[in-house]
Amino acid sequence: MKRALTLLLAVSGLLPAAALVRSQRPQAGPALSSAKVAVDVSKPAHYKIPRTIFGTFLEPIGNSTYGGLWADLLENPSFEEGLWNAENFKKMLDEQPTLIRSSELGLPLPWEPLYYDQQNRYSSVWNDAANSHESLLVMGLPEAEVGVRQQIYLPIHRTRAFTGHTSLKLLSGSPNVSLSLRRRNHPEENLAETSINIEGSAWKSYEFQLDVPAGKLARLEPADFVLSVRGETRILLDQTSLFPNDNIDGMEPEVISMAKAMNAPVIRFGGNFTSAYHWRDAVGPRDQRAHQLGRHLAEQRRLQLAQPRQPPAHPAGGVVLGEPERGQ
């Protein structure tokens, strides 16, 4: 009551400001006395402190998740634009300078053309995709092979068998699509190859298997994953993945082994970059789960989507993407 009256008088101009400051100074209290805490280990409590009160957490920074725990060997598996900030772009281009030209040809990084001298045979397509808002158009050439590739490192010391999925849509031409592993920067040398015949004209996900013969690839030797068409075929590409067959529910077995060796009671997937994650978004077939932006990027993407988009240079109709307000 006294403090309220003092404040009222000060606001009314009836009390000098200095008096108000003096009235709000904390008063000195009685000196604290020492205390004793006794612990009797012979009398345990009736409850137990759970081990899970302590643990560690995993966050998608660097290669802790992608290129780490998650066993998918491909980066940017849904061919999205705008996934990288300037620092990541610089690092990527420093490691692979040829990606500068790849970007100029209309490919989302780190994807590259199968043959650079074929020029621009690619275009991002919006609002026509398997599970987001964007896909990649690949336009074939007469009597030639046209495709995309990505440098990958296979855990060849553990397994030579790999299973993948890809979402495809046929626009015109032959329905046959080739998927292969080739020696890095030597597209003429196949290490393993299979093919898919696209069914109908709607989006569909296809599973494929690639087996590398013994002795074809050394440990830590890079290879190229290739997806290609022949002739004047035109297709749309979306969600594409490649996993070693010894993955554990999509996770990298060597990372799981190291995590077990930590003997951590619990490993939590969390942090500000996963603040928008909701378990409902991870239910159902993986290739049907829409990609979404994290909330920290949602406003930026909302502003981009609000701007009129110029039509692509080539005939084509389309990050994440999904609903910006829901929040990758």
- pLDDT, one tens digit per residue, over 55-103 is 887 777 778 888 889 999 999 999 988 777 788 888 889 999 999 999 9
210 CB neighbour count, 10 Å cutoff: 20
| Range of weakest confidence among 175-179, 218-222, 283-287 | 283-287
| Range of weakest confidence among 62-66, 116-120, 152-156, 185-189 | 62-66
Q: What are the residue ranges spanned by the domains of the chain?
A: 62-261
Q: How far apart are CA 74 and CA 62, in angstroms?
A: 15
| Range of weakest confidence among 29-43, 130-144, 240-254 | 29-43
Under the banding of pLDDT at 50, 70 and 90, the label for residue 147 is very high
| Total-model pTM | 0.74
| Range of weakest confidence among 239-243, 261-265, 317-321 | 317-321
Phi, psi of 23 (to 5 degrees): -70, -20
Q: Which position has the higher pLDDT, 30 or 127?
A: 127
316 pLDDT higher than 50:
no
- Calculate the CA dihedral of residues 186, 189, 191, 194 and round it to 10 degrees: 110
Inter-residue contact 212 to 154 (CB < 8 Å): yes
Rg (CA), the chain: 29
Q: How far apart are CA 194 and CA 164, in angstroms?
A: 11
pLDDT of residue 277: 67
Q: How far apart are CA 27 and CA 32, in angstroms?
A: 14
Q: What angle do CA 192, 198, 202 make, to 5 degrees?
A: 140
Inter-residue contact 237 to 167 (CB < 8 Å): yes
Q: Give tens-digit pLDDT for 215-226.
A: 999 999 999 999
Average pLDDT score over residue span 200-222:
96
pLDDT of residue 52: 81
Architecture of domain 62-261: Sandwich (2.60)
Q: In the chain, what is the straight-line distance between the N-terminal and C-terminal CA atoms, in Å?
A: 53
Q: How far apart are CA 15 and CA 223, in angstroms?
A: 81
Inter-residue contact 274 to 59 (CB < 8 Å): yes
pLDDT of residue 290: 64
Q: Give tens-digit pLDDT for 258-276.
A: 988 988 888 777 666 566 6
Across the chain, mean pLDDT equals 80
